[in-house]
Amino acid sequence: MPIRDAGGTVIGAVGISGDVSDKDEACALAGLAAAQLSRDTG
């Protein structure tokens, strides 16, 4: 999923694989939250 910094600029992407997609997404979101970043919802 694309990620944005606090100012809203897309700065990269994060991907995760190894389990069902819902769990992969939850892990990616937890990592983004820990880094104080947000997913690109647009």
Determine how β-strand 38-39 pairs with β-strand 10-13.
Answer: unpaired
Helices (H), the chain: 21-34
5 confidence band (pLDDT: 50, 70, 90): confident
| 17-to-9, 14, 20, 21, 28 alpha-carbon distances in Å | 25, 10, 8, 8, 10
7 confidence band (pLDDT: 50, 70, 90): confident
Cα separation, 16 vs 6, whole angstroms: 22
pLDDT tens digits along 12-36: 888 888 889 899 889 988 988 898 8
Q: What is the pLDDT of residue 10?
A: 86
Q: What is the pLDDT of residue 42?
A: 56
Distance of CA 5 to the CA centre of its chain: 11
Is 29 or 40 the better-scoring residue by pLDDT? 29
